[in-house]
Amino acid sequence: MNLTRLLFLSALLAPFLAAACDGPAEQTSLSESCGLASDALDQFIPFASGSYEKGKDPVYREESPTLTLHIDAFELLSHEVTNAEFARFVDETGYVTDAEKSAEAGGEAAGSAVFQSAEGSVGKYPWKLVPGATWSSPEGPGSDIAGRALHPVVHVSLADAQAYAAWAGGRLPTEAEWEYAASRGLPDLNRARSGAYDETGQPVANTWQGIFPVSNTAADGFTGTSPVGCFGPDKSGAFDMIGNVWEWTDTPYGPGTNTIKGGSYLCAENFCRRYRPAARQPEETDFSSNHIGFRIVRDVER
């Protein structure tokens, strides 16, 4: 687990936190009355081959240049992989995640990254490596996923996501496939942020409303992850392509990193405006946290 990554993130946030108090707080959602029904899970959406503009309407430097790319047909899981689905994978295979191995190995860099809620108790450094923070104990020892079966699984590394995808008969999407699908699903194809906010400024995805990281108004109904399917579907029938959790792709970004897409419940106007299809960010392949998950795709026979 990359301790340097955590220190860098915390240093960026330190100016916002001078008046905050010490001590962790569990991230909780304000509503559990939404989400997909069990018979709506594991549905794949067909995407025909076609072209799109990668990096359309860039905001950050890494999103340029804008390119026209052709994408072959594929099928996309309509939702992020859930805790219930990942639990079934673990039960059937005995798989042990990288975060679990890290906690068992111990040492300075043991654990997985946890963002500790900013509701007045975040302290100077909101990101912490927590030994024992895993997919089944998202906030660390003593926490669990009871009541969160439909929430996206988190604390999964790239290798963990790839292992699940292979078991489920699929693979991780490439960055281009992911962006193609997200672009096709936008409510307003001419407004890149329409997957996160409607034309009146009301949230239509699980993101951060307020001043990150010290004030979250939770206008979208959540301060942490939400059950899959609480927002959407988008125009293509997919849920949570924007917000909720970042999603691993199979596309390398640079040495030791892969590209993640979609933003998360921690993306805000003042700190992370990456709730757009074009947005991209590098992540260390062995890194995991409580705001990174994934979905899978399947190839279409030709």
Over residues 261-282, the pLDDT tens digits come to 999 999 998 888 899 999 999 9
- The pLDDT of residue 92 is 98
Q: What is the DSSP string of 144-194?
A: --TT-TTSBP-S--HHHHHHHHHHTT-BPPPHHHHHHHHHHH-SSTT-GGG
What is the pTM assigned to this prediction? 0.89
Domains and CATH numbers, the chain: 3-299 (3.90.1580.10)
Examine the pLDDT at 22 and tell me if it is beyond 70: no
CA-to-CA distance for 120 and 277, rounded, in angstroms? 32
Highest mean pLDDT among 78-82, 109-113, 122-126: 78-82
Tokens of 129: 């490596």
Q: What is the DSSP string of 196-251?
A: TB-TTS-B-SS---SSTTT----TTSBSS---TTSS---TTS-S-SSSSSEEEEEE
Q: Which helix H or strand E contains 246, and what residues bound it?
A: strand 246-254
CB atoms within 10 A of CB 244: 33
